[in-house]
Structures are given as structure tokens and as C-alpha cells.
Amino acid sequence: MSLNSVGQFPNYRPRRLRQSPAMRRLVQETRLSADQLVLPLFVRAGKKLRQPISSMPGVFQLSPDEMLVEARNAHDAGVPAVLLFGIPETKDAKASGAYAQNGIVQKAVRLLKKELPDLLVITDVCLCEYMSHGHCGIVEARGRVLNDPSLKLLARAAVSHAEAGADIVAPSDMMDGRVRALREALDTNGFLDMPILSYAAKFASAYYGPFREAAESAPQFGDRRSYQMNGANAEEAMREVAMDIQEGADMVMVKPALAYLDILYRVKTEFGYPTAAYSVSAEYSMIKAAAAKGWIDERAVMMETLLSMRRAGADILITYAAADVARWLKS
Ligand code: PBG
Ligand code: ZN
């Protein structure tokens, strides 16, 4: 569109199409729908456990039975998918819980697929929650996070999720070559049809703070800047996404979402792949906190924020508010 095209119509009055709710509805370009929503869930061992996460009001660490309740509520509200994170009972230096056949996520997947077969179960594939040191890969003596040895564990984790019945696996570790490693391992084990949703452009971000309380996955030393991306780099994000697609990603993600809408826009425009925006923990917590103070209208701000992600090109919205949003869309 050029300025010229407006200039050619001197009688153009944009307010003509803003006169009434029906008129505005007719010409609305972008829409939010429950179909696009994914609800993250944190699951840990136990019974009747709903452990509140203080920095994320309304979000809990859930035992499998309570997770099922939460998943069912979301599903009933119209949310088509959940994204599972596990908090293991014990952590070690090789993330054993991440690929244990009877690990917490593997159990949760089996339960969800048995009780709610139509709800899509996406599993986050990473090692940080299961590592004693909290990093997303194997750490060598001097504290360096090793790339290639970590791939084997990540691939094992993905295969174990597939065996449990997961519908989609979502690697979030940011090791180089992990999408290929997962694809090869899944194919070798007969899971040729298992889609990979890659956290392709994942930035090292202070917006993950509340999540690390929720998942008990804060790194015990250092930070994640040697594997997650520098928030200043947009060109590099495009290379990361291109690489993941070449390696076999079926869907790609930009994370965080709100502070990276330009990346989201470029990724969708350039690659045209199914693109997910992860509206991360602090994006949720900031809205909740300001709303609790009475400073903003929670519902309106949440909807406007998620709509901005749709406008930027997101097909899929991962948000802790998914169930609320789905209900709001109906009322
Ligand atoms: C684990 C992982 C993180 C998030 C999703 N998967 C934390 C991190 O990378 O430190 C963050 C999600 C959020 O903040 O909501 N690799
Ligand atoms: Zn991780």
C-alpha cells in the first residue's frame, strides 16, 4: 500500500466503518479464537495438590489428578491443547527424570490421553527441570554447557514422550541441531508422524523469572546466555528459524512474544510456517499484578495483548490465561 492510494481518494472517511458494533465487526481484520490457545500446565507427583505459584496468581503446580481437573476445565471452555512441564521428585546431573519411562510428564501424558483423548498434549522437551544445576544441557566440570552430548538426552526425552502418547513435542533447550536429533530419533523409533514444534527463536529473557519459580528450574550458577539468543538479534533469529525448518520442524515458535513482536512478524512473513507465540510467565504476571492493584482492566488488557500477537502473525498463542480467555470469548 502506498500513501498515494489514500491520496487518490480525498473523500475517504475511515470513521464510516467504525459507526456501530456490527460495522466494526464486519471489517475487523484479526480475530482471537479459542482454537488458537494453548494452556501450559505444571505437573508434579502427589495427590490433591494445588501448590500456588506466588509470582503467577491463578497458576499452580498440580498433582496429576488436579492437572486433569484443570485440563478438563480448559478443554470444556474450548482450549484445544495443553503444554506440559514436569517437576521431578529428584534431580541429577544427567536429567534422568526427563526420559524416565515413569517420569512425571510421561505419567501425565498417559493420564491425559486416557481421560481426554481429544485434547492435544504438547510436551516441553528440555532438561533444565531435571538437572541438579538447572541448565538446559549437560554441564562439564568448568561449567560449560555441552551441545552434542545434550542432544542424545533430549532425543531420548522426546521419544519417551512419544511412547507415552504425546501429540506434539516442543524442544525448548536451544542446543544446536536438536530438531534434527529429535526428528531422527523419533523416526528411528517409528514416530514418523510426531510433529515437532520448535522453540526456534527463543531469547535469553528476564521475562522467564516467574516460570523458574513455577518449574523450579532456575540455573544454580551462571545464566542461559550461551545457548538462548541475545535479545538484540533479529537477523540471527531468522537464521535460527530457517535452520530449525531445514532440520524438520513442523511448527516454529517465537518466545517471549510481547517484547519480540517484530520477530514474530518477520518469522511469519518470511517462512509462512505455523507460528506460535509464547506469551511467557512475566507477560502474564505483569498484567495480573497491575490488575490486582486496580490499575488496569485485566480482561481488556489480556485480550488486547494477545490480539497484538495475532496481528503480528501468530497462529498459535501459548498463554497461562488460555482458559480465562476461552471463557471470555464466549461471554
Ligand atoms: C525451559 C523453559 C523455560 C520456559 C519455557 N521452557 C524457561 C527458561 O528457558 O528459562 C519459559 C516460559 C515462561 O517464562 O513462561 N527451557
Ligand atoms: Zn530448559
Assess whether 202 carries a catalytic annotation. yes
What is the per-residue pLDDT for 149?
Answer: 97
Residue 6: is its pLDDT beyond 80? Answer: no
What average pLDDT is seen over the chain?
A: 96
For residue 26, is it within any domain?
Answer: no
What is the per-residue pLDDT for 5?
Answer: 64
Whole-structure pTM value: 0.97
Q: Is 124 touching ligand 1 by the criterion CB < 6 Å?
A: yes
What is the per-residue pLDDT for 12?
Answer: 87
Residue 2: is its pLDDT beyond 80? Answer: no
For residue 22, is it within any domain?
Answer: no
- Between CA 221 and CA 241 the distance in angstroms is 28
For residue 19, is it within any domain?
Answer: no
Ligand 2 centroid from CA 125, angstroms = 8
Residues with Cβ–ion distance below 5 A, ligand 2: 126, 128, 136
Q: Is 136 touching ligand 1 by the criterion CB < 6 Å?
A: yes
Number of domains in the chain: 1
For residue 155, is it within any domain?
Answer: yes
For residue 10, is it within any domain?
Answer: no
Task: Pick the atom of ligand 1 nearest to 174's CA.
Answer: 16
Strand partners, 113: none
Please state the rounded mean pLDDT for residues 272-293: 98
Please state the rounded mean pLDDT for residues 104-113: 98
The CATH number of whichever domain residue 231 belongs to comes to 3.20.20.70
Q: Is 53 touching ligand 1 by the criterion CB < 6 Å?
A: no
For residue 152, is it within any domain?
Answer: yes
What is the per-residue pLDDT for 54?
Answer: 96
Assess whether 330 carries a catalytic annotation. no
Q: Which DSSP state fits 10?
A: T
Q: Is 128 touching ligand 1 by the criterion CB < 6 Å?
A: yes
Which of 128, 225, 258, when mutated, tests ligand 1's pocket best, judged by the most ligand atoms within 8 Å of its CB? Answer: 128
The predicted-structure confidence for 20-71, as pLDDT tens digits, reads as follows 999 999 999 999 999 999 999 999 999 999 999 999 999 999 999 999 999 9
DSSP string, 208-247: GHHHHHHHT---SSS-STTTSBPTT-HHHHHHHHHHHHHH
Q: Is 208 touching ligand 1 by the criterion CB < 6 Å?
A: yes
- Number of Cβ within 10 Å of residue 300's Cβ equals 11
Task: Pick the atom of ligand 1 nearest to 218's CA.
Answer: 10
**Which domain, by its residues, includes 160?**
31-330
Ligand 1 centroid from CA 285, angstroms = 14
Please state the rounded mean pLDDT for residues 6-30: 90
Q: Is 155 touching ligand 1 by the criterion CB < 6 Å?
A: no
pLDDT band at 189 (very low <50, low <70, confident <90, very high): very high
Burial of 253 (0-12, 13-18, 19+ CB in 10 A): buried
Please state the rounded mean pLDDT for residues 9-19: 90
Please state the rounded mean pLDDT for residues 76-83: 98
Percent of all residues in the chain with a pLDDT value above 70, rounded to a whole number: 98
Residue 281: is its pLDDT beyond 90? Answer: yes
Task: Pick the atom of ligand 1 nearest to 85's CA.
Answer: 6
Ligand 2 centroid from CA 21, angstroms = 45
Backbone dihedral region for residue 174 (phi beyond 0: left; psi -120 to 50: alpha; all else: beta): left
For residue 16, is it within any domain?
Answer: no
Ligand 2 centroid from CA 323, angstroms = 25
Q: Is 126 touching ligand 1 by the criterion CB < 6 Å?
A: yes
Residue 134: is its pLDDT beyond 70? Answer: yes
CA count, 13 A, side-chain hemisphere, 94:
7
123 within 8 A of 166, measured Cβ to Cβ: yes
- Exactly one of 255, 288, 293, 330 is catalytic; name it: 255
Please state the rounded mean pLDDT for residues 91-106: 97
Residue 204: is its pLDDT beyond 90? Answer: yes
For residue 20, is it within any domain?
Answer: no
From 5-14, 155-164, 235-244, 269-278, the region with the lowest mean pLDDT: 5-14
Residue 271: is its pLDDT beyond 70? Answer: yes
The predicted-structure confidence for 306-319, as pLDDT tens digits, reads as follows 999 999 999 999 99
